[in-house]
Amino acid sequence: MEQDTLEYAQLLDKQDDLAAYRQEFYLQENTLYMDGNSLGLLSKRAERTLFDLLNSWKTLGIEGWTEGDNPWFYLSESVGGKMAPLVGGMKAEVIATGSTTTNLHQLVATFYKPAGVRTKILADKLNFPSDIYALKSQLAMKGYDSDEHLVQVTSPDGRFLCEDDIIAAMTDDIALIVLPAVLYRSGQVLDMDRLTRAANERGIPIGFDLCHSIGAVEHALHDWGVDFAFWCTYKHLNGGPGSVGGLFVHEKHFGTVPGLAGWFGSKKESQFDMDHTMDSAMDVSAYQIGTPHVLSLAPLIGALELFGEAGLANIRKKSLQLTQYFLELIKSELADYQFTIGNPTDATRGGHILLEHVEAARICKALKEDGVIPDFRVPNGVRLAPIALYNSFEDVWHTVQKLRIIMDEKRYEKFENKRGVVA
């Protein structure tokens, strides 16, 4: 059986141990959804737990804080505990709170302690802009010029980072390191274990942005000795638009006073004493700032059930199989259309494919018109993410066929080669 046939894709789907989970999600009719690395689809369980939380408000009123199946007062901790296996952390090290950028601000405010010659923050040139904005903001609040005190490792090719270059930049003037676990454009997975060991040897706190890795890539943050991490939950975790973020703080830092103090960072048993001297929680709970966003946490309860059942190792295995199949079809079907593969072709890739083309913005628009949902990343990237829990090998096959027809017939030419407001 030829590997580039529909029958072969269907055979792979019959052999897929995770195929049943596709029925757990609301799939859009006549649509091939390849954008789960930007916004995951709604699952039926996430819908159920959202309505369950709404019902607890309806039936319990204020008593919902301490009563019901998921008491709101402890919701950030309980949802964090469900995320802990996905990052390789202990339950006491992971909490669901805030958003990606507010959590980064909290963690930098806590771990960035410039002293002596150690005043600089080490980051990279390929990171998502929001992280860089936050780092520059934190430097400014400490009175430092980011042009001098934010060190950004460059990429030799504009796609990938070299761990040797990052380690070489861990000089005596670096006070903090913040890096992505998976690069948002190319999907490169950094060697977090190696980078953490290098930082620890030099006594530099290190943290990682897991937005494009959690739910797609296995982690061992506790065992690696990572100081902190932060992430969103609306991509691979399918928590819904604007769903609550998460953060990890290694237990070796428990008792460290949070840089940004807030009432919900107090010990639960003393929080309502209303004392003006904060009695901080002695675990990751201390790094909460405000009241849990209960209704935004609710879908995560159901969404995370699926990860507990399917197992992250199985999800990662299928993800690599899906993207490998994608790469093989691209090579056989799209060789004549001037595409460049911009992601790693080995197991150091995350959960998405990056196709580079000079007409990328137009191609994305043509794909959408033909029922394929990709996303565009400047300057020339088409990102395609087959998600293990709800995409099939047949989805991948049809996506490549549609892309081949679009290129063969030049259907993209009727569109302007310019991104939309939301790319």
Per-10-residue mean pLDDT, the chain, length 423: 91 98 96 98 98 98 97 98 98 98 98 98 98 98 98 97 98 98 98 98 98 98 99 98 98 97 95 95 97 97 98 98 98 96 97 98 98 96 98 98 98 91 76
Is 16 in the active site?
Answer: no
Check whether residue 135 and residue 150 sit in a common domain: yes
3-state helix, strand, coil in the chain (%, to 5): 45, 15, 40
Q: How many domains does the chain have?
A: 2
Is 234 in the active site?
Answer: yes
Tell me how far apart the 2 most distant CA atoms of the chain are, in Å: 72
Q: Answer yes or no: is 185 within a domain.
A: yes
Distance CA 38, CA 184 (A): 10
Put the strands of the sheet holding 228-231 in their side by side order: 94-96, 246-249, 228-231, 206-209, 174-180, 120-124, 150-153
Is 235 in the active site?
Answer: yes
Alpha carbon 372 to its chain centroid, in Å, reads 22
- Identified catalytic residue from 234, 376, 390, 412: 234
Is 412 in the active site?
Answer: no
Q: Answer yes or no: is 39 within a domain.
A: no
- Does 234 show up as a binding residue in the annotation? yes
Check whether residue 305 and residue 317 sit in a common domain: no
Phi, psi of 343 (to 5 degrees): -115, 160
347 token code pair: 């197991």
Residue 114, class by beta-carbon neighbours within 10 Å (0-12 exposed, 13-18 middle, 19+ buried)?
middle
Q: Answer yes or no: is 37 within a domain.
A: no
- Identified catalytic residue from 349, 362, 383, 402: 383
Check whether residue 118 and residue 73 sit in a common domain: yes
- Does 100 show up as a binding residue in the annotation? yes
Report pLDDT for 247.
98
Check whether residue 344 and residue 258 sit in a common domain: no
- Does 72 show up as a binding residue in the annotation? no
- Identified catalytic residue from 235, 318, 349, 365: 235
Tell me the residue range of the domain where 398 lies: 6-30+312-414
Report pLDDT for 308.
97
> In sequence order, what are the residues at sequence separation of 6 or more whose Cβ sits closer than 8 angstroms to the Cβ of residue 276?
none
Is 209 in the active site?
Answer: yes
Q: What is the CATH number of the domain that holds 341?
A: 3.90.1150.10
- Does 101 show up as a binding residue in the annotation? yes
- Does 390 show up as a binding residue in the annotation? no
- Does 209 show up as a binding residue in the annotation? yes
Helix, strand, or coil (residue 230): strand
Report pLDDT for 1.
62
Q: Answer yes or no: is 318 within a domain.
A: yes
